[in-house]
């Protein structure tokens, strides 16, 4: 016998269970299990708890579809599809063919307004933490202690930045780039190092030369010999990376890459049992009253 107290399966689906056991095993062709919470203000459809945290079960006060609690991870998602990893870039098919560990969407009248893919690998072999429309933000407190948002600057290419300070001595200075930063950038004719210098003292002006991934020179104009401090910002393209499967994530080649759109959805049909929930009609089946009939929603592209 399977090591589960309850094994249920419908739609002529074969029964599948975990070899090491579980509280129940539920199988279905289209949907394995269906749960609904009827309390409008705070109902939770499914609550999952791991690590035997029976005294630490949290759900949101406003309710949700799924709530997970764990000692280190509340919810985890895995995508196992091996996407096409042809090393082509800036292809609409790459964005549409992405795989991700998670997907989240805000809808209005069934239409996705904003969405985010988490833990993404697109069909071109590029890895992304999060991708979706909208802004990237953090939260800080203002002078009154109220929470306000700060937004990240974003760019059409994959860029790394660093900041620092230097000192002209007799009109010259060499700046050595942090080796960890240098290891993760690419600098060549196609991908030049961008250096922005701000002088912090009086001199004839400076120019930047001999730029490599390891460093650059700052030289005073007209053969000057000033000794003044300066600060700088450097920007460079992220270096390509070899993925665990041997394919190459060509970060340095991306510029305005195509992105995935919202996931197509299907509005499921549901019916509600009448007052005599288990009462059977003349045919011996539970009486049911339709409350919401849905049709397949149109597919939405990128």
Q: What is the mean pLDDT of residues 67-83?
A: 86
Each residue of 91-113: pLDDT tens digit?
Answer: 555 566 788 899 999 989 888 89
Q: Please tell me the class of the 159-243+249-253 domain.
A: mainly beta
Q: What is the DSSP letter of 297?
A: P
What gap in Å lies between CA 188 and CA 183, rounded to an integer?
14
pLDDT bin (cut points 50, 70, 90) of residue 5 is low
pLDDT bin (cut points 50, 70, 90) of residue 175 is very high
- Give residue 277's pLDDT: 53
Contact in structure between 117 and 103 (CB atoms under 8 Å): yes
What gap in Å lies between CA 164 and CA 157, rounded to an integer?
22
Q: Please, what sign has the CA dihedral across residues 250, 253, 255, 259?
A: negative
21 or 146, which is more confident: 146
- Give residue 301's pLDDT: 47
- Give residue 80's pLDDT: 85
Q: Residue 128 above 70 pLDDT?
A: yes
**270: its two tokens:** 């549901």
Share of the chain above pLDDT 70, in %: 77
Each residue of 17-48: pLDDT tens digit?
Answer: 667 766 667 676 777 677 788 888 899 988 99
Q: Residue 6 above 90 pLDDT?
A: no
Share of the chain above pLDDT 90, in %: 51
Tokens 């700088």 appear where?
A: 232
Closest CA to 263 of 127, 27, 79: 79
Q: Residue 179 above 70 pLDDT?
A: yes
**294: its two tokens:** 């849905």
pLDDT bin (cut points 50, 70, 90) of residue 4 is low
Average pLDDT, the chain: 84
- Give residue 272's pLDDT: 79
Q: What is the mean pLDDT of residues 103-125?
A: 88
If DSSP states are collapsed to H, E and C, what string results for 241-268?
Answer: EECCCCCEECHHHCCCCCCCCCCCCCCC
- Give residue 280's pLDDT: 57
Each residue of 226-277: pLDDT tens digit?
Answer: 999 999 999 999 999 998 888 899 999 999 998 888 888 888 888 877 656 5
Each residue of 187-197: pLDDT tens digit?
Answer: 999 999 999 99
Domain boundaries, the chain: 159-243+249-253, 269-302
């Amino acid at each position: 016998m399977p090591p589960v107290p309850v094994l249920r399966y419908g739609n002529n689906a074969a029964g599948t269970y975990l070899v090491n056991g579980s509280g129940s095993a539920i199988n279905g062709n289209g949907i394995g299990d269906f749960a609904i919470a009827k309390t409008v203000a705070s109902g939770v459809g499914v609550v999952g708890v791991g690590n035997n945290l029976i005294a630490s079960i949290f759900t949101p006060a406003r309710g949700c579809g799924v709530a997970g609690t764990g000692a280190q991870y509340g919810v985890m998602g895995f995508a196992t599809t091996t996407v096409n990893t042809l090393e082509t870039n800036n292809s609409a098919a790459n964005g549409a063919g992405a795989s991700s560990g998670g997907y989240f969407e805000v809808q209005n009248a069934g239409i996705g307004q904003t969405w985010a893919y988490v833990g993404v690998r697109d069909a071109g072999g590029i890895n992304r933490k999060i991708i979706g429309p909208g802004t990237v933000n953090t939260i800080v407190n203002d002078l009154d202690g109220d929470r306000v948002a700060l937004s990240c600057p974003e760019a059409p290419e994959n860029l790394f930045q660093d900041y620092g300070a230097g000192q002209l001595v007799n009109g010259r200075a060499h700046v050595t780039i942090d080796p960890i930063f240098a290891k993760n950038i690419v600098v060549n004719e196609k991908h030049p190092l961008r250096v922005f210098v701000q002088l912090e003292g009086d001199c004839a002006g400076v120019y930047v030369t001999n730029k490599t991934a390891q460093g650059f020179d700052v030289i005073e104009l007209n053969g000057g010999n000033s000794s003044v401090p300066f600060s700088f910002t450097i920007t460079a393209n992220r270096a390509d990376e070899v993925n665990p499967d041997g394919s190459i994530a060509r970060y340095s080649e991306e510029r305005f890459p195509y992105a995935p759109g919202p996931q197509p959805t299907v509005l499921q049909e549901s019916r509600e049992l009448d007052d005599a929930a288990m009462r059977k009609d003349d045919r011996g089946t539970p009486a049911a009253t339709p409350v919401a009939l849905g049709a397949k929603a149109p597919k939405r592209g990128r």
